[in-house]
Structures are given as structure tokens and as C-alpha cells.
Amino acid sequence: MSVAKKQYKRITVKSLIEMKANKEKISMLTAYDYTMAKIVDAAGIDVILVGDSASNVMAGHETTLPITLDQMIYHASSVIRAIERCLVVVDLPFGTYQGNSKHALESAIRIMKETGGHAVKLEGGSEISESISRILTAGIPVMGHLGLTPQSIYKFGTYTVRAKEEEEAAKLKEDALLLEKLGCFALVLEKVPAKLAQEVAESLTIPVIGIGAGAGVDGQVLVTHDMLGMTHEFNPRFLRRYLDLYSEMTNAFKQYIDDVKSVDFPNDKEQY
Ligand code: KIV
């Protein structure tokens, strides 16, 4: 279904809040490098997230915990060089903002100064409210992230749906209201029941962007490598694959290998 939408020359945090007010859904995808970011931006995405999922997708780690601030800065500055229109949000990695708000501000300032990114994202609610407030005092826009927060995987034990029980759902609703009150411009809700996510979205004026959080929120985010079908071992229910690039790429690589071995490549026109 095609939807009437306002044309934005550049997306800002204000545009996202306006989109929610106008009931226009927000599209967000991850990117970690120049080439991918250029394609995603040119396709018209609203937000690129330089996610700490780079730890899994780009570096092959089992969790998001090992990625460093320097590595996030490398990824984010590559993305920034590619984009013309979208808003770029950069994850603060594990260990750079929890527990010490001064450290959190220093980490966020490094992201803004050294990458040219437009906003930072932090995982958690009341327990990191001091860090969020301090970053906001420097004029740095903050996106929150609640529900399944992968930096806390060893506390959860599994990547299953969060906030199915009343107590955790109530804490999530409180945290969402708190993040809005502190001044966050948007919130990611990851892997929570659709009904709860819709309730949270309806209780806030800032946009709620879901991943595995149903259709009742204000926008959607996916990991680009997952939606392109490059990471074929990851199959959560919420993931829609728009391509099967794993197979496409494998076939192309096999064809290339055959062509090299059989001296079909390069042909007369492909040499000097
Ligand atoms: O790091 C990431 O890719 C994320 C999304 C899953 C929201 O935080």
C-alpha cells in the first residue's frame, strides 16, 4: 500500500516527532559501512542505525558486548560519509555509559565529534537515567531502547520475548514514560508483545520504533543483513526477508570460481 507522506529534504529528530503526529510510519535500518549506507539512504530510509549489532554482523561475535567505542566510531564515520538525507543514530556500546554519567557524556561527545552522527542510542530505563540526562544537557539527541536489550543478555539468559509477565510489563511502561520525560526523542522497543508495544506507543508523544513489537508502533527497524537474507542462520518470527542474498551471493561466488578455473574469465573484452 502506498501512503501519502510529506517530503523531507533531510530527516531530523523533529521530523520523526512530526511523522508520529501525522501518523506516518518511520522506517529504520542498520548500516555499518559506506557502501551499504549509500544504498539504504538513496532508497529513502528515514533513519540509519549504526547498531552495536555490528559486533555480531560485521565481527562475528556471539553478543554485542565486545564491540568498542573506537570500532563504533569507525563504522559510524563510514556511514556518515555516505548519507545525504537520513538521520543517523549511533549505538553507545556496552561499558561506555552505564554507571557513570560523566563517562557516558564523554562517550557520546566522542561519537558526535569523531563521526558526525546525529544522535546516540542507549539501552535501559531508570537505571541509566542520570547518563541520559547528562548527555541531553550537552544538546545530544538520545534514542532509548527497552524490552530485549541485547547488552544485558547475560542477565536475561536468552533472546526470548520480554515483558510477557505483568511486573516486567509495568516496569517497561514506567521506563518508557520516564525516557520521554527525560527528553529522549524516540524509543526502540525490541521483542515485546504487540499489545504492550501498542499501549506504550499510544501513551507517548515521541515515536516508538519496534523490532519484533508488532504493527501498532510508530515505525519499524530491522538489521539490514537479516532482511536481505545474508544471515541465513538467524530466523526469528518477526524477521521478513526481502531477498535471499545468501543463495544469490553463493551462486555468484561459485560461478566466479568456475569461470576462473576454466579460464572463461577474463575473456578477450575483459583485458587490455
Ligand atoms: O544494534 C542494533 O542493531 C539494534 C537494533 C536491533 C534495534 O539495536
How far, CA to CA in Å, does 116 sit from each of 67, 82, 105, 112, 252? 19, 12, 16, 5, 36
Residue with cell string 539501552: 123
Domains of the chain: 13-241 (3.20.20.60), 244-272 (no CATH)
Q: Whose CA is nearest to atom 4 of ligand 1?
A: 51
Residue 47, beta-bridge partner list: 28, 87
Rounded to two decimals, the pTM is 0.97
Task: Give 137 Cα–ligand 1 centroid separation in angstroms.
Answer: 25
| Residue to probe by mutation, ligand 1, list 63, 64, 148, most atoms within 8 Å of CB | 64
Helix (H, G, I), strand (E, B) or coil at 83: coil
DSSP class per residue in 12-32: -HHHHHHHHHTTPPEEEEE--
The CA distance from 216 to 25, in Å, is 10
Cβ of residue 52 lying under 6 Å from some atom of ligand 1 = yes
Q: Whose CA is nearest to atom 5 of ligand 1?
A: 51
pLDDT, one tens digit for every residue, the chain (272 residues): 556 678 999 999 999 999 999 999 999 999 999 999 999 999 999 999 999 999 999 999 999 999 999 999 999 999 999 999 999 999 999 999 998 999 999 999 999 999 999 999 999 999 999 999 999 999 999 999 999 999 999 999 999 999 999 999 999 999 999 999 999 999 999 999 999 999 999 999 999 999 999 999 999 999 999 999 999 888 999 999 999 999 999 999 999 999 999 999 999 999 99
Is 190 an annotated catalytic residue? Answer: yes
